[in-house]
Structure 1
Amino acid sequence: MDKPLIQIWDSVGLGLIIEFPSGIMISNQTGGTSCLHPKIEGVYVPLANDYKEKNKEFLSPEIELTAYFQGSKYKGSGAIKGIDLEDAKEIHTIMATSGLHECIEIDLNRLKESHEAWIRIKIYDNPNNELISGFKEYPLNGILTWSNSD
């Protein structure tokens, strides 16, 4: 029997999918103009998204991540053949601006499995992280994901 599927491509902002035997498959539209639809079993958690009501401003690392993958290196092509160390460094820098680098690390052993809006990560236990806790074994495998730039 197929597992239930949640498609998150209408979500806005940065999120992560924790690989976890939840019985639920999660998919997002990724890979820039290639419009890939990878899926993985797990749990989806929105991350570091905010909204300033006063000036109607959306705040999220998604904005910088999208700009990076639309920029001169990939031009929206989605990096579908994988990302490299330069990309990992840039993503890490973007994550650091939101303090997410303390518990999330790009999985350097899985760069070829990563592409725009679908970045393989490791999630570490961190006492300052109140969003994710109580898992028995760390690091957790996961996916950093956001809205595709197609």
Structure 2
Amino acid sequence: MNTVKRSKGLNLPPWPKKSLPFLIKEFGPTVFLAILLGTCLDLYFVGKNLYMFPKRPFPEIFSFNIGFTFIALPILVLVFINMMNRVTKWGKVGIILFLSLLMPIMERLSELFGLFEHASEWKHIYSFFGYLVFLSLIFVFYRLTNKEH
């Protein structure tokens, strides 16, 4: 088996080794906020019959898709924060706008696969603005809880 090693002549600083407790301290509060907000928003909108999740884990217990809220959303938030930490201010604006525009498209695809349904009065532009606020809030919260970064 071959192992890839860093070239010693590059004069780059060593890769930081981050322990699991450090990662939980850095990202945990933000991921928890995203899960909490996602759950509350889903419960509200499902309760108002504005959208629903026809195919979801444990439908007899949960009215929202716990697979998305507790697994996919945290992973997406971690990827989002990682991307945001690598770009300039305008890059951050671009990422938030791009993802906010992408979400209504993903909702439409979810509807085609029977994973998501909206009431007739729902407009996908609501999702654009909702994700715009959600992603901005998540990143501002991350920055406030990680001021040393």
**TM-score scaled by length of structure 1:** 0.33
* Greater helix proportion: 2
* Greater strand proportion: 1
Q: Kindly name which structure, 1 or 2, has the bigger radius of gyration based on alpha carbons.
A: 2
**TM-score scaled by length of structure 2:** 0.33
